[in-house]
Amino acid sequence: MKTKTPKFQFPCCCRPLFRLAVMAILIGLPLELLGALNDGLIAWYPFTGNANDASTNANNGTVVGAQLTTDRNNVPNQAYSFNGTSDYINIGQGVKPIFPLTVTTWIYTTSPANGLQTIFRSGTFNRTGSYSGVMLSYDGRGFLYSHIGSGLYSQASYRNWTTTYPPAVIQPNQWTHVAVVWLGFDNMKFYVNGELQSAHYDCCASGTTIVNSQSDGGIGKRDDPADPSAFVGKLDEIRVYSRELSINEVNTLAIEPTIQPSSVTTNAGATVVFTANSTGPPPLSYQWQFKGTNISGANSNTLTLTNVKPGDSGTYRVVVSNPAATNFADATLTVPVQVICAMPQVFTNGVSFTVNISVAPPGGTSLYRIQDQPPTGWPVTQISSGGSLSGGKPTWVVANDDRSRNMSYVLTPPAGAAGTYHFSGTAIFNSTNTVAITGVRDIYNEVTSVSIRTLSPFGDGLLYVNLTVTGKAGASYYVLVADGLEQPNPWRTNDTVTLTGTSQDWFDAQPVSDNSRRFYKAQAAP
C-alpha cells in the first residue's frame, strides 16, 4: 500500500483542502498534520510502475538499468531494484533543496557488506571533481551516512554525519523506513522506523551553506566512476521536502498498515477474516471502521466477520496509531444479493423432492417478494412458513427483514414426465430491485425414452429403423442393439448420441429385412 496521502493540485486548492478535511475526520488525524505531509514537497517518487514525480513539480526520473519489483507489501511493479553497480535513476536538475530539508524513503538492502550505498543525492558527488548539495547513503555495517557538499572535493568543502554505530540500526533483507533532516552543516537528525537516532559529526570541513550546481541528481548511485557507491537492493517511496518534518509527520510516514486480503467477494453466510499488518514504532493500537464508523470492540489487528450478508458489503478501514502518529489502510467486502435454488438435477416420476431457496437481501430491504415457477402441472405441497401457492407458483412476501432466509417447497413429478424441465423465478426487493433465482434451474428424468418407426428414404423399397432418443439436452446416450434376446448379455453398443435438444433422431443404416429380430434401447453414457 502506498502512503495514503492526497495529492494537491495547485493553484486550485479548494478541492484538495476539502478532501483533506474529509480524510482528517475519518481517521481522527489533525488536519494540520495531514495537510503538512504535502507542504514543502519538492519531489515524491512512489514508484507506482514508473519513476515519475507524484508531486506537482514534474521532477520525473529517468531509469537507467533499475528494474521494477515488488514493494514492501509484495505488490508487483511498485518499487525499484538496484544491482549495486550500474543501476540508478536520474532525477535531473530540479530537486535542489536548501536548509532546512528532509528526505524520507523505504529501503531494503540485500548486501550489508557492500560499504557505502547511495540512496539519494541532489547533485554531483565526485571525488575527482566537486560535491554539490546533499547525499544520503546506507553503510553496510547497519547505519545511515550523509554528505553535505558545496565546492571542490580537494578543498574538503563538505561535511559528513552518521547515525551512531554500533549497534546496527538497519537490518538487511527487510524493509526499513528512514528519514534524514538537514537543518544546517552542523545540525542533523536521522530517523529509523520513525524513531530519532543519535548522530555524530564525522568530518570534514567548515562550510555553512549549500551552493547547488546545475548537475543532475540521482537515486541509487553516485556520479563518480571511481567510487559509484551503488545501492544493492530495493528502494521505494522517496520524498524530498524543503523543510523539516516533525517527528509526528515522520511517524505517520513510517506507520505502514496493510490489510490481507485487500478485497473479498463471497456468498452470504460466509466467514471473512481481515488481518492488518503494520510497520512503525510501537506501541501500535488498532481501530477498525465500517463506512467511516468505529466498530465496537474491534481493536486488534484482526477483524472477523461471521455470517456475512449483502448489507455488510462496503469499505473496512483499520486505523493504526502510536503516541506520535496515525495512518490507515482500506479493504473492501462484496457480498452479492443472491437468491439461490438447490434441488436434485435428476428426477424420477412419482418421487417427490424438495426445492430449497436461500435468500440474501440487500441491506436496508423493507419488503421483498419471492416467487418460483416450477413446471406446469406438477403438484406443489409443503410450502414453508409464510409462503402460499399463487397461480401454481410458490410465493413468499417478507416485510421489515433484511436477514438471510431459507424457503422451501415439495414437488412431485407426475407419471409420464420426460425430458428436461426449466424452472424460472424472481425476487423483487423494495419493489424496484428484481433478481433472478439462480442455482439448479434445469432438471431431467434419469431414464431416457426411445420411440421407433420405420421409413423408406432411398426409394429402393426397403424399410429402415429410425429411433427418437429423448433425454437431457447436452447429455450423451448409448444406442444399444440386440439381434435376438435368447443369449445372455445380447446387447451391444452400436452408436453414441449427444442430444442438442431434449430429443434427437438416430438412423439404422441396416435394412429391417436383413434382421427382422433386431431390438433397440438407449441408456445414459457415463
DSSP 526: -
Other beta carbons within 10 Å of 445: 20
User: How do residues 400-430 score in pLDDT, each as one tens digit?
Assistant: 877 889 999 999 999 888 778 999 999 999 9
CB of 310 closer than 8 Å to CB of 269: no
User: How do residues 466-496 score in pLDDT, each as one tens digit?
Assistant: 999 988 788 888 999 998 887 888 889 999 9
Q: What angle do CA 167, 171, 175 make, to 5 degrees?
A: 145
CA atoms within 13 A on the CB side of 276: 30
350 Ramachandran zone, left/alpha/beta (phi>0; psi -120 to 50): left
Distance CA 156, CA 205 (A): 6
pLDDT of residue 10: 32
Domain boundaries, given as residue ranges, for the chain: 1-39, 44-254, 257-334, 338-444, 448-524
Q: Which of 360, 411, 361 lies closest to 384 in space, CA to CA?
A: 411
CATH code 1.10.8.10 for 257-334: no
Q: Which of 339, 314, 192, 295 lies closest to 253 in space, CA to CA?
A: 192
Q: How far is the first Cα of the chain from the last one, in angstroms, to the nearest whole number? A: 51
Distance CA 146, CA 133 (A): 11
pLDDT of residue 12: 36
pLDDT of residue 85: 94
Side chain identity at 21, as an amino acid letter?
Answer: A
* Signed CA dihedral, 58, 62, 189, 191: sign only: positive
Ramachandran angles phi, psi of 379, nearest 5° = -65, 135
Ramachandran angles phi, psi of 283, nearest 5° = -80, 140
Distances (CA, A) of 173 to 109, 142, 170: 6, 12, 10
CB of 240 closer than 8 Å to CB of 38: no
CA atoms within 13 A on the CB side of 108: 19
Distances (CA, A) of 365 to 32, 313, 362: 41, 14, 6
Tell me if the pTM is above 0.75. no
Q: What is the enclosing helix (H) or strand (E) of 331?
A: strand 326-334
Strands 338-342 and 438-439: parallel
Overall size of the chain counted in residues: 526
pLDDT of residue 412: 96
pLDDT of residue 386: 92
Distance CA 164, CA 200 (A): 6
* Residue found under cell 431414464: 447
Judge if 257-334 and 338-444 fold alike in CATH terms. Answer: yes
DSSP 501: S
* Residue found under cell 479493504: 331
pLDDT of residue 205: 66
CATH class of 44-254: mainly beta
pLDDT of residue 86: 96
* Residue found under cell 416420476: 349
Distance CA 93, CA 122 (A): 8
Question: pLDDT under 50 in the chain at which residues?
Answer: 1, 3-34
Instruction: Report the CATH number of the 338-444 domain.
Output: 2.60.40.740
DSSP string, 356-384: EEEEEPPTT--EEEEEEEPPTT--EE-PP
Distance CA 89, CA 138 (A): 17
